[in-house]
Structure formats: C-alpha cells, structure tokens
Amino acid sequence: MKKTFSILLPLIYALVVAAQHPAEAAGELTKLKGIADGMAAMDEVSKQEGINYDKAKAFINSQEIKEGLTKETVSQRCGEPVAIADNGTRWVYKPPSSTYFKGEKICFIFDESGRLVSWKQVL
C-alpha cells in the first residue's frame, strides 16, 4: 500500500497542478517530451554505433578485406563511421562503451584517391 501511495502522490500532484495551470503544464509536458525524444534518438545512434562497430570488426577479421578497396565498399560493409578525420583519410568505428580517447576502436586509413591503405584495431 505504501508503494502505491508513493507512486500515486506525485501523479495526483501533477494532475492538480495541471488543472490549476494548464498552460504551464502543457509547456512542461512539451519540454519533457522533447527530452524523451532526444534520449530516444541518442539511444538509436548508440545502438547503430555498436552495430557498425561489430560489422567493422567482422570485416577486418574476414578474408575479404584487402588494400585498394574503395571508401564506398568499406561503407557498404561497415556502415557509417562515428568519426572521419585527416581530410577524410581516416575513418573510425567504436562501440558505444568506448570514447574517442579510451577503449576499443577500429581505424581504416585511405589514400588521397579514397583507396584503403591499412586498417587496425585498437584495444
């Protein structure tokens, strides 16, 4: 009973405030929805980041990777990188648990013509 009361009390309070100040309540609900939508979008980006990292990891461990592949081929196999640096010649993939400075990463290095020169996994 105590747990139900502790859940209901804030809900009842919110309803009373909303009834007394509907314009303010609508604004606050809009803000909360915006925050929730932003968090959902961040979760989706993080999920895709992990999927692409797993694809890149499988690709570098396969027999299909070789020097000379195009950026388009790497992108088709691994998805979009989380970072592109050095004038587009370095692509970085990382799992959501890593940061740009710590943790696992996979780097693909391309030459100026967009051909794969090397790759490495940083653990």
- Amino acid letter, 112: E
- Amino acid letter, 104: E
CATH no. for residue 37?
A: 3.30.1450.10
Question: By residue range, what is the domain housing residue 53?
Answer: 2-122
Count of other CB atoms within 10 angstroms of residue 11: 9
Q: Which of 37, 33, 77 is nearest to 55 (CA)?
A: 77
Q: What is the per-residue pLDDT across 7-44, written as a single tens digit (0 to 9) for each?
A: 566 666 666 666 676 666 666 666 655 665 666 667 77
Q: Strand 90-93's sheet: what is its strand order?
A: 83-85, 90-93, 105-110, 116-122
Q: What is the per-residue pLDDT across 83-107, written as a single tens digit (0 to 9) for each?
A: 999 999 999 999 999 988 899 999 9
C-alpha–C-alpha distance, residues 59 and 74, integer Å: 9
C-alpha–C-alpha distance, residues 25 and 67, integer Å: 59
Q: What is the per-residue pLDDT across 42-71, written as a single tens digit (0 to 9) for each?
A: 777 789 999 999 999 999 999 999 999 999
Prediction pTM value: 0.68
How many domains, in total, are found in the chain? 1
